């Protein structure tokens, strides 16, 4: 597991420790983590504060060109809302490929070429067992 996936997993652990849903995410630009996030739906009573959106928001306001050069690492496949946010920002979503992962190719509406996204597909039980270690 690379350092960015470990950082996303640490965010998931922090979310679990706060009593939330254990999903973490980090936004990486040129090898530097510029945004960290975790699912805060339970902690903040929010319907939309998922790990990916939290990571994008914590990166502060960046120029569009920066987001297009970023990679987002997440511990669970993004939902439809987060996938659309990733496409809207033009960010390439990436995760370490595992036997239980899948490849998804999405079309960026502002760019005719496909935006390919590597997503980890994990079941909550698997994530929880990793977090208990």
Give me the active site residues, please. Answer: 52
Separation CA 27–CA 21 (nearest Å): 19
Phi, psi values for residue 27, rounded to 5°: -105, 125
**Assigned token pair, 11:** 């965010």
Which ranges of 1-133 does DSSP label H, i.e. alpha helix?
Answer: 3-17, 41-44, 51-58, 64-68, 80-89, 124-131
**Assigned token pair, 18:** 């706060």
């Amino acid at each position: 597991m690379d350092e960015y996936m470990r950082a996303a997993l640490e965010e998931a652990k922090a979310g679990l420790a706060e009593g939330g849903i254990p999903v973490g995410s980090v936004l990486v630009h040129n090898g530097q983590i510029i945004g960290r996030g975790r699912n805060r739906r339970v902690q903040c009573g929010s319907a939309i504060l998922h790990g990916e959106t939290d990571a994008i928001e914590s990166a502060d306001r960046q120029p569009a060109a920066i987001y297009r050069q970023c990679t987002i690492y997440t511990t669970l496949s993004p939902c439809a809302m987060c996938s659309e946010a990733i496409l809207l920002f033009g960010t390439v979503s990436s995760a370490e490929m595992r036997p239980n992962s899948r490849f998804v190719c999405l079309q960026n509406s502002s760019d005719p070429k496909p935006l390919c996204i590597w997503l980890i597909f994990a079941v909550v039980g698997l994530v929880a067992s990793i977090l208990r270690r």
